[in-house]
Amino acid sequence: MKTGTPAWGPGRHGAAGFALDLGRCVGCGACVLACRMENRLPGRVSWRRIVPLNLARYLGGPTYFFSLACHHCQDPPCVRGCPSGALRKRPDGVVTLEADLCMGCRYCEMACPFKAPAYDSDAGVMTKCHLCHHRLDSGLLPACVEACPVGALGFEDDTAAGGDVAAGVDVAAGGAPDAETRVGRVLRAEEVPGFVDPGEAKPGLVLVPPVGGIRGAKYVSLESLLAAAADAASEGEGSGHG
């Protein structure tokens, strides 16, 4: 099948994680299905999910989609919280779980701010995203990244997968978090308003803002929206009873 060679694969800098281009992600879920397919996950377990923000276009603002899996944190609370040593962070940055050592206590799930580890109730053990390291080892991209039809998903240090939006940014030199790209500053997950507070975990997720930036500035208050809409209605725009 098709191969892709990550420009900045994990293992290179001891940091690993996904990048998500918020201007490109349309929340389609192909990544969720590709993960399920690749890792042959049973229906009761999901390693990736789509979290829509503002699906109802509250205040007339846009919808953003967050395709999220394990962030392979720099200081993973799940590893710290695991009493059996089943979870560990590999030298290349990938956070893995060894099922043989897992006793299914679910402490990691409680410790993770993002609830990324998923409990397999039939097997009685935790499961989690391992960045498809079996694919990485053979020079392939993680299944979710490979499947993304709009190039929204990439590696933390491979935002080029998102349509060369961050081409030239060298994460190894510490450039990514504050680097200026053509579409604006690359954001760390914890910088995004409304995002779960990651504590000290330092999640390895990089979020690429859309062209023109997050459109929060366009939001207006609910009161002013309703006032404007009421004005429009009094000019014959509305369609209520009457």
Partner 1 sequence: MSLRTVRTVCPRNCYCTCGMLVGVEDGRIVGIEGDPVNPATGGKVCLKGLSYVERVVHPDRLTTPLRRNARGGFDPVPWDDALADIARRLETIRRESGPSAVLYYEGSGSHGALSGLAAAFWRPFGGPTRAHGDLCWPAGLEATRLTYGDNRHNHPVLTRESRFILLWGHNPAETNVHQWNLILEARERGAKVAVVDPRSTDTTDAADLHLRPRPGTDAALALGLGHVILAEGLHDQRFVAARGLGFESYVERVAAYPPERVAQITGLEAEEVRELAREYATGRPALLVAGFGLQRHHHAGQAMRAVALLPALTGNLGVAGGGWQYANLASHCLRPPPSLPPPPEVDPRSFPTSRLGWVLQHLGDPPLRAAWFEKANPVSQHPRTAEVRRGFEGLELVVVVDQFLTDTARMAHYVLPAKTLFEEEDLVTAYWHPYVQLRQKVLDPPEGVRTETEVWRELCVRFGFGTDAFDVDPTKRLRAMLPEGREGALEELRDRPLDLSGCGDVAWADGRFLTPSGKVEFSSEEAARLWGVEPVPDYQPLEEGHAGEASRRFPLQLLTCKTRERIHSQFGNLSWIREVDRPRVLDIHPLDAAARGLADGDPARIWNARGAAEAPVRLNPGIRPGVVHVIEGRCVPEDPWMNLVTADGVTDMGWGATFYECLVEVEAVSVERADPEPEGRP
Distance between CA 210 and CA 22 in Å, rounded? 5
Question: What is the smallest separation between the CB atom of 237 and partner 1, expressed in angstroms?
Answer: 6
Question: What is the smallest separation between the CB atom of 96 and partner 1, expressed in angstroms?
Answer: 22
User: Is the Cβ of residue 47 or residue 155 nearer to partner 1 in the bound state?
Assistant: 47
Question: What is the smallest separation between the CB atom of 17 and partner 1, expressed in angstroms?
Answer: 15
- The closest of 69, 118, 108 to 85, measured between CA atoms, is 108
Amino acid at 27: G
User: Is the Cβ of residue 98 or residue 164 nearer to partner 1 in the bound state?
Assistant: 164
Question: What is the smallest separation between the CB atom of 29 and partner 1, expressed in angstroms?
Answer: 3
Per the listing, tokens 């500053």 go with: 185
Residues that bind partner 1 (CB under 8 A): 1-2, 23-24, 26-30, 32-34, 36-38, 40, 43, 46, 49-60, 62-63, 66, 68, 146-151, 163, 165, 182-183, 192, 194-196, 210-211, 225-226, 229-230, 232-233, 237-241
User: Is the Cβ of residue 91 or residue 194 nearer to partner 1 in the bound state?
Assistant: 194
User: In a 3-state reduction of DSSP, which class is residue 56?
Assistant: coil
Distance between CA 208 and CA 22 in Å, rounded? 6
Distance between CA 124 and CA 73 in Å, rounded? 25
Q: How far is CA 135 from CA 20, 34, 55, 77, 92, in A?
A: 20, 13, 34, 25, 14
User: Is the Cβ of residue 20 or residue 97 nearer to partner 1 in the bound state?
Assistant: 20
Question: What is the smallest separation between the CB atom of 199 and partner 1, expressed in angstroms?
Answer: 15
Question: What is the smallest separation between the CB atom of 112 and partner 1, expressed in angstroms?
Answer: 14
What's phi and psi for 115, nearest 5 deg?
A: 55, 45
Distance between CA 159 and CA 165 in Å, rounded? 7
Distance between CA 1 and CA 158 in Å, rounded? 22
User: Is the Cβ of residue 30 or residue 126 nearer to partner 1 in the bound state?
Assistant: 30
User: Is the Cβ of residue 86 or residue 214 nearer to partner 1 in the bound state?
Assistant: 214
